[in-house]
Amino acid sequence: MKDKIINILTAFETDDIGKSFPLDYCLPLYHSVSDDNLPHIRHVINYKNTQQFEEDLDCFSKHFQFVNWSEFKDFVNGSFKPKKKIALLTFDDGFREFYDVAAPILERKGIYACNFINPAFVDNKDMMFRCKASLLIDEIGKRKTIDPEVYRVLNLKNKAEKQALINRILNISYQEKEILDILAEKLETDYKAYSKEQKPYLSTDELKILTEKGFGISSHSWDHPKYGDLSLEQQMETTNRTFGYLKENGFLHETFAFPFTDFGVRKEFFDELFKNEEIKFSFGCAGVKLDSVKRNFQRIPMEMGESGERILKKETAYFRLKKIINKNTIVRK
């Protein structure tokens, strides 16, 4: 019902997105850009191809003024006066396609981006648990029969449909991620061999080259847990460990982007986070929303199976709808 209402309201949105967009800033979020089949993310991220990505960038450029990190900081502090509403482009997870595909496009167009990375996966030392899930699902799709042990490990009936199996794997949490290693044995999937061959993540050398080219490399936690499921102590441990890594390697250590979402993260975390005076802002991914923590900004997920223009119009329509019932601000307690 909600989606139907938003779609109806979206149809009435003007093509002058820059004028109608409800905030002075637009924060698009991507993970990867590729024309290839990427088994480690294709089942968990609806990434865009190069043509779709360039069309999105052209849309943003038409309606917004792209800024770099320094300009964004100055904008928030009131010392940078843009000609239009601004856009800060962000990527998450540090996938290799940022170096191979996205960065050359961005360099050609003169657009800055910041990639929020997980140090645990740099140099392909390990793989995020959701990427492991995607590889398993890819393997299941190739098989006519599945080892009954797979169903047993997941507490499913042997004759459960494939989709039920896939859904259960997709629902494995960070806290349960060891199950994915057990399943890999049953499904003859070798994560390490895949990482060695495909190199899904950026290397240290590539990260340093990107920094030299002017791109931002910053914090996305150590190994991508969902912060709402962690204690404050666990939240700060993974956050501080990542900032130590960033400083050690000369990367951007003034900001932090939540892995998954900041849903359920309490005010006490932000109070603790911003005790570090070097950290200027943090980022969630709840779309066009305001936040009761003024230094926490919400980004717009752009990998939703629709064009950037359509997503921006839908987000604008939804913001207006939520504003009527006073629900367009995330309140932290």
CATH of the domain at 9: 3.20.20.370
Do 37 and 170 lie in one domain? The reply is no
Do 191 and 230 lie in one domain? The reply is no
| pLDDT average, residue stretch 193-220 | 98
pTM: 0.96
**Cα separation of 31 and 284, whole Å?**
14
* Residue entry with tokens 């050398």: 205
Do 188 and 207 lie in one domain? The reply is no
Do 158 and 13 lie in one domain? The reply is no
Q: First vs last Cα of the chain: how many Å apart? A: 29
Do 184 and 280 lie in one domain? The reply is no
* Among 151, 175, 195, residue at a domain's last position: 195
Nearest of 60, 84, 76, 61 to residue 254 by alpha carbon: 76
**Cα separation of 317 and 270, whole Å?**
29
pLDDT confidence of residue 160: 76
Do 32 and 110 lie in one domain? The reply is yes
User: Coil, helix or strand for 49?
Assistant: coil
- Name the H helices within 154-277: 162-170, 178-186, 191-198, 204-212, 232-249, 267-273
Residue 1 has pLDDT above 80, yes or no: no
pLDDT confidence of residue 200: 98
CB 207 within 8 A of CB 251: yes
Do 60 and 144 lie in one domain? The reply is no
Nearest of 49, 89, 41, 48 to residue 201 by alpha carbon: 41
Mean pLDDT of the chain: 96
Do 146 and 208 lie in one domain? The reply is no
Helix (H) or strand (E) holding 320: helix 308-324
Which pair of tokens denotes residue 194? 């895949």
- Domains in the chain, number: 2
* Among 161, 195, 229, residue at a domain's last position: 195
Q: How distant, in Å, are the alpha carbons of 14, 26, 233, 288, 292 from that of 328?
A: 20, 15, 29, 8, 10
| pLDDT average, residue stretch 175-188 | 97
Do 113 and 229 lie in one domain? The reply is yes
Residue 23 has pLDDT above 80, yes or no: yes
Q: Which domain holds residue 293?
A: 2-123+202-330
pLDDT confidence of residue 161: 87
Do 243 and 281 lie in one domain? The reply is yes
Which pair of tokens denotes residue 281? 């802002």
* Residue entry with tokens 């399943």: 183
Which pair of tokens denotes residue 24? 């002075």
**Cα separation of 122 and 217, whole Å?**
12
* Residue entry with tokens 């859904």: 167
Do 56 and 180 lie in one domain? The reply is no
* Among 171, 195, 219, residue at a domain's last position: 195
Q: How confident is the model at residue 286 (pLDDT cuts 50, 70, 90)?
A: very high
* Residue entry with tokens 């931002």: 216
Do 69 and 191 lie in one domain? The reply is no
**Cα separation of 55 and 246, whole Å?**
32
Neighbours of 79 (CB within 10 A): 9
